[in-house]
Amino acid sequence: VKYSGTALPAMWQATHVAKNIVRLATNRPQKAFHPHSAPCGVPVSDSWAYVEWFGVYIKGRSGYIARRLLELYGYCQLLPFKTARSVWRTHDVHDITL
């Protein structure tokens, strides 16, 4: 799916689906999904990733760090910051200090 790769676009997609389920249950027409121009982050290896957003491309180790920060942002959209940071850090297998 275009603009996938991080939690933030997944949340936008899930919110859209939930709203359409409510619209369906209340006999209203469903709306088409229009993707936001969200950052796209794709992990390539353990410490290498590719991130694209608004025509800016980051790859390699810097891309990995950018993707991790996008993940933290996504978690913060769902959870209080301290909880989000704790969950996010459990996935940081390389112990990067951010």
Distance of CA 79 to the CA centre of its chain: 14
Mean pLDDT rounded to a whole number for the chain:
83
C-alpha–C-alpha distance, residues 29 and 31, integer Å: 7
Of the ranges 36-45, 66-75, 78-87, which one carries the lowest mean pLDDT score? 36-45
Q: Which residues of 11-49 are buried (b: 16+ CB within 10 A; e: fewer)?
A: ebbeebeeebeeeeeeeeeeeeeeeeebbbbeeeeeeeb
Q: What is the mean pLDDT of residues 27-38?
A: 83
Of the ranges 22-26, 39-43, 48-52, 87-91, which one carries the lowest mean pLDDT score? 39-43
Render pLDDT for 72-92 as a digit per residue (tens, 0 to 9).
Answer: 888 888 899 999 999 989 876
Q: How confident is the model at residue 56 (pLDDT cuts 50, 70, 90)?
A: confident
